[in-house]
Amino acid sequence: MARSLVPVLALALVVGLQSGCRRGSDETRGAAGGRTRLVLKYQPLWGPPGPFHELLSRFEQANPGVELVTEALPNASDLAHQFFLTSLEGRARDFDVLVVDVVWVPEFARAGWIADLSEAFPPARLREEFLPGPVEAVVVEGRTYAVPWYLDVGILYYRTDLVPRAPRTYAELERFAREAREREPGLQGYVWQGRQYEGLSCNVYEALWGHGGEAMEGGRVLLDTKPAREALTYLRGLIAEGVSPGTVTGFSEEEARRVFQQGRAVFMRNWPYAWAEAQKEDSPIRGKVGIAPLPTVDGEPGSGALGGWQLAVNAHVSPERRRLAEKLIAHLTSPEANRVLALHYARNPPRTALYEDSRLKEGAPFIAGLRELVERARPRPVTPYYNLISDVLQSEFSAAVAGLRTPEEALRRAQRQVDHLTGEAE
């Protein structure tokens, strides 16, 4: 029996090793056959592959001598970060252009992993052409380190058949939810993302802004503040008073969407992707959904957390490759590319002008209609330490939302750990 097993194992081994080697050799193959190989590291766009490939091949046509190669990144943001942490820290040169999450730009810039692109993309020009939120995320200390590619923003979904209009204040949201639930018992009020993960942090920052607060003060992440306490008290109150079900403490985007889509909730906080799902043929809430800015304490339209991805250049590649990489970024962030991503992949354009684009208005009216919302989108605290502290914040926010600690205590603990991690305490 052992003898019969050995050849099987040996075969498997050879197969495994071969596939391992083939990938490994990619690194050394810089310019094969006189063509320069330019590598783009990005996350799958989830849609028909055709239009994006066409976009890429148009770049190859315009730049003969360049072979464009795409490589996939892990889908989950924290794992993509882990990938860059381990590869860029190891000075990897096997990719030229990379996508970065909004919250990573200051970190990667400070670490010296992504190149300063200010010459090709001056900050002033970005401010003219792109929405303010994404620009704030990619310009670090007056220098451009990345160019916005597509964005996401937290928005409020509401049921047009259950409430008279979108709520503008927190009090209104609670009242509308209560009234709808009195008419229709068994209905949930407001579903959002309360699980211990980055989505919760987005919800918390939105509530913080909604209470007139800021998370940064003079370069320091400052959380032990009155608006932060009010924000956590409000989120906890939603659960304690039954406006939100107790289960939201386990919800990420999809759990919330499923409840809302089954018609079991009046309000939902989510990203724009949920719209297409709600409008599907067999959706019970098709045609009964509206979107609006998140409510605030005083009725001013609220800001949604900015999500989405930017394109940056690996700082370890040679100057010639960097110039090519910049060209590729210019191509992929052009108005045409913005339109392709919006029409075929439902990615929201970061360019302001696109929201007035007639073809977009016609082909993707929902996206074009998001203008008011994306203009208000705000990045989470812009600090090189974001990733270092986000884990601490998630756990303390989670404790406060779940009612395990008072908001005061959670924030005190969060502040202490943040100060320790960022070196403020020393």
Partner 1 sequence: MRRGGLGTALAVVAFLTFFLGPFLWQVLTSLWPDGELTRPWPTHLTLESYASVLWGRPFLRVVANSLGVAALTTVFCLTVGAAAAFALAKLEFRGRGVLLGAALGVSMFPPIATVSPLYLILRAVGLRDSLVGLALPYTTFALPLTLWVLTSFFRQLPDELYRAARVDGCTPFQAFRRVLLPLAAPGLATTAILVFIFSWNEFLYALTFLTTPEKRTVPVAISLFASEYREPWGEIAAASVVATLPLVALTLLFQRRVVSGLTAGAVKE
Partner 2 sequence: MSARGSLERERRQAYWLVAPSVLVLAAVALYPILAAVWLSLHRFILVFGERRFIGLGNFAYLSGDARFWSALGNTAYFTVVAVTVELVLAVPLALLLQRAFPGRGLLRAAVLVPWAIPTVVSARLWAWMFNPDSGLINRLLGGQDINWLGAPGYALHAAILVDVWKTTPFVALLVLAGLQGIPEDLYKAARVDGASSWRTFRSITLPLLKPALLLALLFRSLDAFRVFDAIYVLTEGGPANTTETLSIYAYKTLMRSGDFGYGSALSVATFACVVVLAVVWLRLLGRAEEGR
Q: Which residues bind partner 2 (CB under 8 A)?
A: 78, 81-82, 85, 89, 107, 110-111, 194-197, 245-251, 255, 258-259, 262, 384, 387-392, 394-395, 398-402, 404-405, 413, 417, 420-421, 423
Choose which of 54, 65, 82, 425 interacts with partner 1 (CB under 8 A).
Answer: 82
Burial class (CB in 10 A: 0-12, 13-18, 19+), 143: middle
Residue type at 183?
R
Using rule CB under 8 A, residue 252 touches partner 1: yes
Query: Which tokens in the block code for residue 16?
Result: 């495994």
- Please report where in the chains the tokens 């370069």 appear, as a residue: 219
For the CB of residue 365, give the shortest distance to partner 1 in the complex, in Å: 22
Using rule CB under 8 A, residue 258 touches partner 1: yes
For the CB of residue 424, give the shortest distance to partner 1 in the complex, in Å: 24
- Asked if residues 386 and 107 have their Cβ atoms less than 8 Å apart, the reply is yes
Piece in contact with partner 1 (CB under 8 A), picked from 5-13, 62-70, 107-115, 380-388: 5-13
For the CB of residue 281, give the shortest distance to partner 1 in the complex, in Å: 10
Residue 20 touches which of partner 1, partner 2, none (CB < 5 to 8 A by kind)? partner 1
Residue 12 touches which of partner 2, partner 1, none (CB < 5 to 8 A by kind)? partner 1
Residue 301 touches which of partner 1, partner 2, none (CB < 5 to 8 A by kind)? none
Query: Which tokens in the block code for residue 62?
Result: 């315009």
Using rule CB under 8 A, residue 273 touches partner 1: yes
310 φ/ψ angles, rounded to the nearest 5 degrees: -120, 160
For the CB of residue 111, give the shortest distance to partner 2 in the complex, in Å: 5
Query: Which tokens in the block code for residue 404?
Result: 């395990």
- Asked if residues 150 and 127 have their Cβ atoms less than 8 Å apart, the reply is no
What's the CA gap between 398 and 251, in Å, rounded?
11
Nearer to partner 2, 261 or 348 (CB): 261
How many residues form the binding site for partner 1 (CB under 8 A)? 38
For the CB of residue 206, give the shortest distance to partner 1 in the complex, in Å: 17
For the CB of residue 2, give the shortest distance to partner 1 in the complex, in Å: 4
Nearer to partner 1, 83 or 366 (CB): 83
Distance of CA 11 to the CA centre of its chain: 43
Piece in contact with partner 1 (CB under 8 A), picked from 55-63, 68-76, 154-162, 169-177: 68-76
What's the CA gap between 361 and 351, in Å, rounded?
14
Residue 182 has a CB neighbour count (10 Å cut-off) of: 9
For the CB of residue 335, give the shortest distance to partner 2 in the complex, in Å: 34
Nearer to partner 2, 107 or 253 (CB): 107
What's the CA gap between 329 and 186, in Å, rounded?
50
Regarding beta strands 216-217 and 143-144, do their DSSP bridges make them parallel or antiparallel, or are they unpaired?
Answer: unpaired
Q: Which of residues 281-340 bind partner 1 (CB under 8 A)?
A: 282
Burial class (CB in 10 A: 0-12, 13-18, 19+), 29: exposed
CA distances in angstroms from 392 to 137, 223, 395, 397, listed in the order given:
21, 12, 5, 9
Instruction: Identify the three-state secondary structure at position 387.
Output: helix
Instruction: Identify the three-state secondary structure at position 196.
Output: coil
For the CB of residue 252, give the shortest distance to partner 1 in the complex, in Å: 8
**Distant-in-sequence, close-in-space partners of 416: CB < 8 Å, separation ≥ 6:** 425
Using rule CB under 8 A, residue 257 touches partner 1: yes
Residues near partner 1, by CB under 8 A:
1-3, 5, 9-10, 12-13, 15-17, 19-20, 23-24, 46, 71-76, 79, 82-83, 86-87, 89-90, 252-254, 257-258, 262, 271, 273, 282
